[in-house]
Amino acid sequence: MAQNQPKLSLPVRLLPDKEDPGLPPPKSARSCRLRSCFDYARCPLTSGFPVYVYDTGSYPWGDYLDPLVKQAFAASVKSNIYVTDNPSIACLYLVLVGELQESSSSPLPSPSELEKQLKALPYWRSDGHNHVLVHLSRKSMTQNFLYNVSTGRAAVAQSTFLEQQYREGFDLVVSPLVHALSEPNFLEVPPQVPVKRKYLFTFQGERVESLRSSLQEAPPQSFEEEMEGDPPADYDDRIIGTLKAVQDSHLDQVLVEFTCKNPRPSLPTEWALCGEREDRLEVLKVSTFSLVIAPGDGQLVASAGCGMRLFEALEVGTIPVVLGDHSRLPYHQFIRWSEAAIIVPKPRVTELHFLLRSLSDNDMLAMRRQGRFLWETYFSTSENVLNTLLASIRTSIQVPAAPIKEEPAHEIPHKAGKLAGTDANLADNGDLDLGPVETEPPYASPRFLRNFTYTAADTYRAWNRAPGPFHLFPHTPLDPVLPSEAKFLGSGTGFRPIGGGTGGSGKEFQAALGGNVPREQFTVVMLTYEREEVLMNSLERLNGLPYLNKVVVVWNSPKPPSDDLLWPDIGLPIVVVRTEKNSLNNRFLPWDAVETEAILSIDDDAHLRHDEIMFGFRVWREARDRIVGFPGRYHAWDVNHQSWLYNSNYSCELSMVLTGAAFFHKYYAYLYSYVMPQAIRDMVDEYINCEDIAMNFLVSHITRKPPIKVTSRWTFRCPGCPQALSHDDSHFHERHKCINFFVKVYGYMPLLYTQFRVDSVLFKTRLPHDKTKCFKFI
C-alpha cells in the first residue's frame, strides 16, 4: 500500500529566479509560438502561476482607456487568486491596452508612440516575453489598434484579428466585455424550453462595405466555379439571395433583414449590428437559431462584431449558426464550439434551411444547454472574462490550477462520555460480519492524484463539461471520479482490483467491500439544531459501523452545546463544527475535516441499520457520480396551474433522493458552495428548506442522470423523535415554490425520472440448499 500508492500532498512551490537568462530570438515576431517566445523557466509546474498586473493608470495610454473597461478590469484583478504584487516571482505579466477612447482634448497615441511606451515598461525585458497585451472590446466596432504595433514576444488577447496578424497557439481571441460592471440577472434569461421558438432563424444586419462581387460582373455561377476563379468570391450576395428566398417560401417562419434604421459602427466588410442591444435581445428570445455571418473579407478572421452576436445569442439561449468556417471563435483552442453552435462554410448556405430543419429536439436542447454553460462560465461577467483569459494561458503551459479553498472546521470542544453501546436493532444482522477483515485506523482518501494529469491530458473535457469549470475554479484536492475512471493499485505493468477477492464468492463479498476500486472509508456529516438527546442517540447508533472514517457534526445553533453534555465514545473522531449562521446550506460546505471522497449526509433523527448503510456505500462506490440514498421523491407537472409540484407519495418512479440519508461525492460540496448560482442558496436560507432539492438539481444538471435509491425504505425518521421542520404544513408549499424557482434559474427542468431501485445481486434469489450458508448475508 505504501509502496504503490504513496500519500501525496501539494508539492513544494518553486518560483523563478530573479535573474532573467534571456531567450534565443525567433526568426520574427510574426512567427512567435509558445516554444519560441515564452519563457517556461519563469513558470515551473509547481509555481502556482503568479500573475503580475500593471497599473495602467500609471502609464500614458491609461488616460485613454474606456473608464468602464478600466474599472471592471481592476475589480476582477483584485479578486483573482493568481494575481501577485511581487513582479520578481511572476510567471505572467498582464497589460491592459484597450479599449481606447479618443478624448476631445487630445488624440489617441500613434502606434509608434504606444510601441515606445510598451517597451518602456519596467519588466518588458527588451522583447516583452511572458507579457500579454489585453484589449477588451465593449463595442461592436473596435479598431485593431495593435495591428501596426510591434509587440515583440508579447502575446495579444483581443476580439479582432487579421489573418496575417494572428499567431495561432500564441495569441488569444477573447470575447467582448458586454457586462462591464453589471451582473447579468439569470432570472431574466429566457427558459431553454420549449426547444422550438417562433422563428426558425433570424438575422438582422447591414454590410458596412463590401468586396467587389464577381456576381455583379458576370452571370450567376456555382460556388465551385466561383471558388476556382482568381478574384475572391463574394458569398455574401448569394447569402442574401438565399435567405430572402427561404423567407419568401413561408415553409418556416424566419426573420431576415439586411438594412437597418440605426446600424451600429462596424469594421469594413463586416455585418453591422442593428439598433439597440435590448431590441436585438427581444428578437433573439423568440428565435431558435441566430445567424452569425463572418465578415466578407476572409483576412478578418475574428471581429468584435461577430463576438457580440455570438455573446447575445448564447445569453438568451439562441443556438448560433456561424456562416464562415474560417472564423476564429473565442478560445477556439479549448472550447469545442461544435457542441454549442453550428459552424458551416458559406458555400453551404443553400443547404442551411434543410440542415436546421433536420436537427432533433434533443440535439437542439443539448446545444442550447451547452451554450448556456459556456456563456455563464466564460463570458457573462468581467470576472469570468479575466478568469478565462488566465486559465487558457495556464492550461497552454500545463500549469495545474491552485487547489480550491476548503471551509475551515472551527471545532467546538466537547467531552466524551462512556463507551457507546450498540443498538440491539442495529446489531441484528445474524452472523453477518459487516466489517473489514483488516483492523486499520481511520485513513483519508488519496489527494492530489490528478492535479497535473487533469491539466495536461483532460483539457477538452475540463473546458466543455457543464457546469464544472474545473480550469477556472481551482481544482479540488479530491478530484471528481466518474464511473469510467476506475482506480487500481498495482505495480507498474499489472493492475489488480482491491477488495474483490477471487470474484463471485459470497464469503469474500461478506468480508470485504468488493467492487472495482480500492478499499476506502466514508465520513458521516450530520446536521443538528438544538436536539441534544436525539443527536446523542444517533451518534451512539453509529458505534461499530464499518468503514466509517469520522463523524462531522454541523452545529447549526447559535447556542453552544450544554456544558454537562457527555458525547458517546464510538471509537472514532467526532468533530463538532461551529457555523457562522443557522443555514441548511451548511450541510454541504466542503469542510476541511472531511478527508474522504464519500460523504454520508444524514439527519440527526435518521434511523438506519448498519447493513442498510453498508449496502448504500457499496452501491455508491460503483456509481460515484450519483446521489445514492434511501428516501425517494419525485416532481410532477401540474396541468391546471402550469407549474411543477413536489411529491412524496409512494410512486413507481422517482427523480430525487433526500440528502437526509444519502451518499454523495465531496466534489459536489465544492460545486454546491462555490459554483451553483447564489440565488439558489439564498432561497434555501429564506425558506429554511429545499437544500436537498437543490443538491438533486445540481447533480442531475451535471451528470444528466437520476439518483439511485437503495432498499425499500420510503421514510427514515426515528420513532419517538421530536417533530422536524418537514412536519410543518407550509413545508410542501415551500418545496413547490423552490422547484419552480430552481427551474427558472437553470432555464429548464434538470431532474430525470428513474423506475428502479438497487438491491443485491442475489436478493430474494432461490438458492440450492448447499449454497445457503455461503450466501447467508444476502
Catalytic residues: 692
Dist CA 570 CA 537 (whole Å): 12
Dist CA 567 CA 539 (whole Å): 8
Within 8 A by CB and 6+ apart from 154, the residues are: 95, 118, 124, 127, 128, 129, 131, 132, 133
Within 8 A by CB and 6+ apart from 324, the residues are: 293, 294, 295, 345, 346
Amino acid at 588: F
Closest CA to 697 of 668, 663, 661, 717: 668
Q: How far apart are the first and last CA of the chain?
A: 30
How big, in percent rounded to 5, are the helix, strand and coil portions of the chain?
30, 15, 50
Closest CA to 143 of 166, 159, 164, 167: 159
Amino acid at 642: Q
Dist CA 135 CA 752 (whole Å): 43
Sheet holding 643-647, edge to edge: 643-647, 632-638, 656-657
Facing residues of 343 across strands?
322
Q: Mapping DSSP to helix (H, G, I), strand (E, B) and coil, where does residue 394 land? A: helix
Facing residues of 475 across strands?
403
Tell the burial category of 653 from Cβ atoms under 10 Å away from its Cβ (0-12, 13-18, 19+). Answer: exposed
Dist CA 15 CA 89 (whole Å): 6
On the question of a cis peptide bond just before residue 190, with omega within 30 degrees of 0, the verdict is no
In this structure, are strands 319-323 and 342-344 parallel, antiparallel, or unpaired?
Answer: parallel
Tell the burial category of 441 from Cβ atoms under 10 Å away from its Cβ (0-12, 13-18, 19+). Answer: exposed
C-alpha cell at 277: 442591444
- Give ∠ CA 16-116-39 in degrees, rounded to 5: 20
Dist CA 265 CA 99 (whole Å): 15
Facing residues of 555 across strands?
528, 578
Q: Mapping DSSP to helix (H, G, I), strand (E, B) and coil, where does residue 291 land? A: strand
DSSP state of 169: T
**Helical spans, DSSP H, in 274-351:** 277-284, 304-315
Dist CA 362 CA 368 (whole Å): 10
Question: Do 551 and 528 contact (CB within 8 A), yes or no?
Answer: no
Closest CA to 537 of 426, 676, 382: 426
Dist CA 674 CA 590 (whole Å): 10
Alpha carbon dihedral 206, 207, 208, 212, in 10-degree steps, equals -160
Q: What is the 3-state secondary structure (H, E, C) of 517-554?
A: CCCCCEEEEEEECCCHHHHHHHHHHCCCCCCEEEEEEE
